[in-house]
Amino acid sequence: MNSSSRFWPALLLTLWSSWAEAQSAEDKLKAAFIYNFAKFITWPATVFDSRPAITVCVLGTSPITQAIAGMQGRSAQGKPIKILNLPQNTATPSCDITFIPKGERVDISAILATSRNTTALTISDVPGFATSGGMIELASEDKRVAFDVNLQELERGGLRVSPQLLKVARTVQVAKR
């Protein structure tokens, strides 16, 4: 085997490893954003006070699932966080936060229609999620994670957002009056 034939597999392995580390770091950052949303979003007291935990539902399987699982047992607003992995096109009333990872084959409009009658905070990293009726969209931008807020949908769900959270949002969509 000559030196050039050994070079390419090593280069590909290095590139793959770097890409996987970058993806893992981005997934951990997105999970941290979701955790902070749990701290800075206020649910209606009638719902929140009766729940023993903040339930984060992740639809489908995705590399980000492992990063989100790291939130299990942490707490926000005095409640422990519970993580549930659900099939791709499932949303339940017991979800306080529903995360829809990009790359999943999901019917976002159906999930949002189901979630619209609940107080679930809907979050996704699917491009265009916030403009399609989702509440918070995570976006990768210049090796950073940013987020867009659809304030109209949050208010429709009875959720209140901390002004500090709105200050750091990339965009905030408000109701057209």
pLDDT, tens digit (0-9, with 9 covering 90-100), for 100-128: 988 767 778 888 887 887 899 999 999 99
In the chain, domain spans: 3-173
- Helix H, strand E, coil C: the string for the chain is CCHHHHHHHHHHHHHHHHHHHHHHHHHHHHHHHHHHHHHHEECCHHHHCCCCCEEEEEECCCCHHHHHHCCCCCEECCEEEEEEEECCCCCCCCCCEEEECCCCCCCHHHHHHHHCCCCCEEEECCCCCHHHCCCEEEEEECCEEEEEEEHHHHHHCCCEECHHHHHCCCEEECCCC
**pLDDT at 7 exceeding the cut of 60:** no
Task: For the domain made up of 3-173, give the CATH fold.
Answer: Rossmann fold (3.40.50)
pLDDT, one tens digit per residue, over 31-79 is: 999 999 999 999 999 888 889 999 999 988 778 888 888 888 899 999 9
